[in-house]
Amino acid sequence: METSTTVPESVAALHAAIDALTDEVIGGLRAQLPSYAAVSMDQLRPRVLASLRNGLSLVQRWSEERRTSQGSGQDGRAYAIPETHLDEVTALARALPVEDIISAYRIGTDIVWRRFGEEMAARRGTAEDLLPIAETLRAWVDANTLRIVRSCRVGFEEDAMTDRRRAAQVRALLLGEVRWDKSPSGGGAWGTGPADDRPAAGYLDDGEAAADGWYDRGALRRPFRARLPDVPPPGGPARAPEPGPAPYATGHPGPGDGAFDRIVALLRPWLALDGTGKPLVTTVDGDVAGLLAGRPGGLCRGLVLGLGAPAPASGLAAEFTRATQALRAAAGFGLVGAFTREELGLRATVVALPAVGEALVGLRLAPLAERGEDGAQLEEAAAAYLEQGLRLEAAARTLYVHPNTLRNRLRRFEEITGTSLRDPADLAEIWWALTHRRIHGPAS
């Protein structure tokens, strides 16, 4: 038994005016959702147009089925969003909040339903014509909203897994934990040690890596290690660094962390990318680390950045060690900017040769330790004198003492340690010992 033709006629009218309907829906989305207002029309219009055409086609099919067979039992769940469109929605969800995408479907449905009602009214459609379509449309929207949420969740989980895998791969490169494939094919496959010892998750096996080709072994990349500079309290001295690497809990845990994202944003123009355009970054002991395609320009005032030299894959671990030493030296001296180990000169050498520093501490500072608080005061006096470029009055001001008081303390320092603050060799050894203690902490 056939029913009214007003539904297919109304749908046909909306199809005929699809461009105007698309503009109206886009206007509603951009007016109500700031995230959609930020999306360019070139990106938004094709997606909205495809969604409207899909929805109107389904309404057309529902109405035809009702005309030819009453009580067919079809509902909105019988017609799912096409997989290609669902893939586009999932891709869009990587740039927009999922809740906004769901709201966009609701906003678009309201606009289309209002226009559909106007077309039905113009053709004297009845409630009996509208009610089944309304119920079916609501069921279809609900079912496909659930599909969108599930699809986006799976997409995000896959993205997160890919990001974690990439971070693990970069970390393995930097720490020298990569086992490159020695096969004649030279496919660049890699693992993380003996095949039987590899973790069950996180790293590619040889076959996967060869197919993936995620890293060009011959490319020259510059390893780096970075952190945000410490901000000392107003009028106070810079905080002395803790010995050893920065603890993970107080560093930058990874993507989503504000400090991590800020560092990546500052370095983005120079970051090396994988085949999918993602930056090769990770975290090592709380610091942001990774690979650069070139040296950052400018002064990098917002970062403490240690750099290695450009190297192929086989040399990245050694250069990352040098980048780490540069970072620790720069941070220990309160420097801000980008530095290689060579550019930091003797400062970086103090970091790289802790055994020498420990020996000098024992030789030049150990006699002070036996005098308790008095010895600590004398060590403080010598440190201030060196930090102020051997200028007695400037050093006295930093210690809030009279120059004669400081002069007396420096004389006692020389007597107890057996050194002369006028001998360049003794000065160098005292400086090294004091700097070693500041960078590496007290002797174990």
The pLDDT score that the predictor gives to residue 382 is 92
Is pLDDT larger for residue 143 or for residue 419? 419
pLDDT tens digits along 326-381: 998 888 888 899 999 899 888 888 887 888 888 988 888 888 888 888 898 999 99
**Residue 250 — pLDDT band, cuts 50, 70, 90?**
very low
The yes-or-no verdict on residue 280 having pLDDT over 80 is yes
262: which residues sit within 8 A by CB, 6+ positions away?
A: 228, 302
The yes-or-no verdict on residue 203 having pLDDT over 50 is no
The pLDDT score that the predictor gives to residue 75 is 43
The yes-or-no verdict on residue 252 having pLDDT over 60 is no
The yes-or-no verdict on residue 200 having pLDDT over 50 is no
Of 89, 133, 97, which is closest to residue 113 (Cα–Cα)?
133
Rounded to an integer, the average pLDDT of 218-236 is 74
Rounded to an integer, the average pLDDT of 204-215 is 45
Task: Please write down the HEC assignment for all residues of 315-335.
Answer: HHHHHHHHHHHHHHHHHHCCC
H or E segment to which residue 172 belongs: helix 127-175
**Residue 98 — pLDDT band, cuts 50, 70, 90?**
low
The pLDDT score that the predictor gives to residue 233 is 35
**Residue 282 — pLDDT band, cuts 50, 70, 90?**
very high
- pTM to 2 decimal places: 0.52
| 1 CB neighbour count, 10 Å cutoff | 7
pLDDT tens digits along 6-62: 878 888 888 888 899 999 999 998 888 888 888 788 878 887 888 788 777 777 777
The pLDDT score that the predictor gives to residue 69 is 58
pLDDT tens digits along 109-149: 888 888 888 888 888 877 777 777 777 677 666 666 666 66
Question: Distances from the Cα of 204 to the Cαs of 189, 211, 275, 334, in angstroms?
Answer: 8, 10, 15, 40
* Cα four-point dihedral sign 186, 187, 192, 197: negative
Lookup result for tokens 């309304």: 134
Q: What one-character DSSP code corresponds to residue 387?
A: H
**Residue 83 — pLDDT band, cuts 50, 70, 90?**
low
Beta strands in 110-211 (DSSP E): 179-180, 190-191
The yes-or-no verdict on residue 210 having pLDDT over 60 is no
The yes-or-no verdict on residue 323 having pLDDT over 90 is yes
